[in-house]
Amino acid sequence: MPGVPAPNLGLKKAKLVVVEGGSGSLEFQFNPNKYSVTRSASWNHAPSSAGISEAAAQYVGESSPSELKIDDILFDAYEELMGDVSEPVKKLLDWTRPTQQSIDANTPQPPILKFEYGGNPILDDFKGYLESVTATYTMFNKGGKPIRAKCSLSLKSTKKLGKKAQNPTSGARETRRTRMLIDGDSLHSIAYAEWGMARYWRGLAAFNGIDDPLRVKAGMRILIPTADEAAALS
């Protein structure tokens, strides 16, 4: 029928699968024409010191959860005798709500879903909650039942809900730059070189657990915090 794509016979069907907070899945009637993945990161650009044109960017972490958007998911029951697309759409809408089990436990949480479609490695580790569903009903039978609908979804990635978040300073230490001291270096000189603020030496010392800044010596390797962390600890 014009305007409706033929089912992808013999091809792997895309689907959403509940992986945490319950069970269930929804196989798409037609594979999506496109989907997009968004990930953003925060980088700190410290002020450069005299004689240095640019300071190296320091990775702080992801600034927001990764997002998966799937557009124009088509559900069509035009050729079915008792066609009705309200059930699969209702399942999507229900997945935006907290599960009954989590409500009973006084910790309302949505089900965590995984999008399965082909072999894209970017999707392999993506698990998230359904943040929004937009359903547009475009055709109805004589009794008013919807027999065709298009849906657009937005999923936000999440670590296991309920897991205590790490302190941002301690949790990201493995991503920090390090610097080896050479002859003539001091915490004051490193603070000035990194951020243009010699007074941030206190934050540098606190971040590295250094009690006596006069005892640092050449060959010692220290972690470099962000400018905001150094300022907060100074």
Distance, in Å, from the CA atom of 213 to the CA atom of 198, rounded to the nearest integer, reads: 13
- Cβ atoms < 10 Å from Cβ of 135: 19
pTM value is 0.60
Q: pLDDT-based confidence at 159, cuts 50/70/90?
A: low
Q: Is the pLDDT of residue 203 over 70?
A: yes
Lowest mean pLDDT among 72-81, 154-163, 170-179: 170-179
DSSP 3-state of 111: coil
Tokens found for residue 96:
């935006």
Distance, in Å, from the CA atom of 197 to the CA atom of 202, rounded to the nearest integer, reads: 11
Distance, in Å, from the CA atom of 224 to the CA atom of 187, rounded to the nearest integer, reads: 11
Phi, psi (deg, nearest 5) at residue 154? -135, 120
Q: pLDDT-based confidence at 144, cuts 50/70/90?
A: very high
Q: Is the pLDDT of residue 187 over 50?
A: yes
Q: Which CATH superfamily is domain 168-233 in?
A: LysM domain (3.10.350.10)
Question: Which of 59, 80, 68 is CA-nearest to residue 7?
Answer: 80
Q: Which residue in the block uniquely carries the two structure tokens 């970017």?
A: 122
Q: pLDDT-based confidence at 228, cuts 50/70/90?
A: confident
Overall average pLDDT of the 10-27 stretch = 89
Better pLDDT: 222 or 56: 222
- Cβ atoms < 10 Å from Cβ of 64: 12
Q: What is the pLDDT of residue 68?
A: 95
Helix (H) / strand (E) containing 200: none
pLDDT digits (tens, 9 = 90+) for 91-143: 999 999 999 988 888 888 899 999 999 878 888 889 999 999 999 999 999 88
